[in-house]
Amino acid sequence: MKTKLLFSIALLFCFVKSLIAQTTFTVDNINYEVTSSRRPFTVKITGLVDRGVSSVTIPLTVTNNSKTYNVTAIGNGAFGYCGNLTSVSISDSVTSIGDYAFYNCSNLPSISIPDSVTSIGFGAFYYCISLTSVSIGNSVTSIGDWAFRDCKKLTSVSIGNSVTSIGAEAFASCINLTSVSIGNSVTSIGQGAFHNCYKLTSVSIGNSVTSIGYEAFKSCYELTSFTCLATTPPTLNYPNTFIGGWQSNCDLYVPESALSAYRNADQWKYFRSVKTYTYLSTTETKNNLLKVYPNPAKDHVVISNISKGENISVYDLSGKILFQTKSPGNSLNINTSSYKNGIYLVKVGEKTTKIIVNK
């Protein structure tokens, strides 16, 4: 009887071991976990064997035991504490970046998030203190709490029209962030989302925002220009969304139809001035064919996919026209070397798009 029991235990151990072998594996220094063993086969990345590497390329697919899997997720903490990592290439198969996925990758200078990604998890890039630029793909719908907190070298952020929510403290303590452009699909900005962004000078918020959380813009002492395209003043949770005393030095720009509402709304009415200008009522054209590059720009920006003879204008957020011309052909190079860091609007005919200048 004892022999049979021991034999049964041994069989069970072998079965469990076999099961583990089927659900986790390693290829080219990357650890994977199977997330779907039915077609289409999928895996997520769980970590690295050698966490001291400087470069990682995440493949579209990976093969193990004659099965080819789509790499669809970067798991929780997968690259956390990889202090030597300086280059990451994420394939177009990845749809989610997990919690703390790149936490404390202290030497990672930049990251490009492809259009396939739809969610960025809690603290995904928290304390990536060398991160200077972030390109967020056009399919991301949610930016998690603390996602980019304490990215101390990050200087500009452009959040596209697919994002609907920005989590609590998502960009808190990004102390070198100077400009933020938030697209037209964002409906909520979380608690403390940009608090302690001491060098933030300009903010532009799209037309769908309905609520802004507690202390979302706390202690943004350098803010001088704040644009909100929502025709109804967003609800401000608690009486100190804009705490820090900077409102008295900052101008608010709103759609002409909403001017009176903002001037009478609690907290919104305390800006240095509440202004409007005509072109704000023409919101940024969604999915237009205009191409703008590089964006953020330094000394120049190229506008392409335009028609010869179209009127082109560049405005700052006060409504001042900085540049006007007619297109000489299907593209135009605009000199931005004299522009201060911040957000600008470009009108091409009836189309409007944003550019960020960051030197």
**pLDDT 10s digits, 232-288:** 999 998 778 999 999 999 999 888 899 999 999 999 999 999 988 544 444 444 445
Q: Which of 255, 282, 309 is the last residue of a domain?
A: 282
**Number of domains comprising the chain:** 3
Q: Give this prediction's pTM.
A: 0.77
| Helical segments of 126-204, H only | none
Q: CATH code at 193?
A: 3.80.10.10
Q: Does a structural domain hold residue 13?
A: no
Q: Which of 67, 138, 153 is nearest to 106 (CA)?
A: 153
* Contact call for residues 130 and 109 (beta carbons, < 8 A): yes
**pLDDT 10s digits, 144-201:** 999 999 999 998 787 877 899 999 999 999 999 988 888 788 999 999 999 999 999 8
Q: Does a structural domain hold residue 4?
A: no
Q: Does a structural domain hold residue 10?
A: no
| Whether residue 313 sits in one domain with residue 349 | yes
**pLDDT 10s digits, 193-205:** 999 999 998 898 8
* Contact call for residues 98 and 46 (beta carbons, < 8 A): no
Q: Does a structural domain hold residue 12?
A: no
User: Beta strand 179-182 with 202-205: parallel, antiparallel or unpaired?
Assistant: parallel
Q: CATH code at 311?
A: 2.60.40.10
Parent domain of 328: 291-357
Measured CA to CA, the distance from residue 93 to residue 42 in angstroms comes to: 10
Q: How far apart are the first and last CA of the chain?
A: 78
Q: How many CB atoms lie within 10 A of CB 329?
A: 10
Q: Does a structural domain hold residue 1?
A: no
Q: Is 125 left (phi over 0), alpha (psi -120 to 50) or beta?
A: alpha
Amino acid residing at 49: V
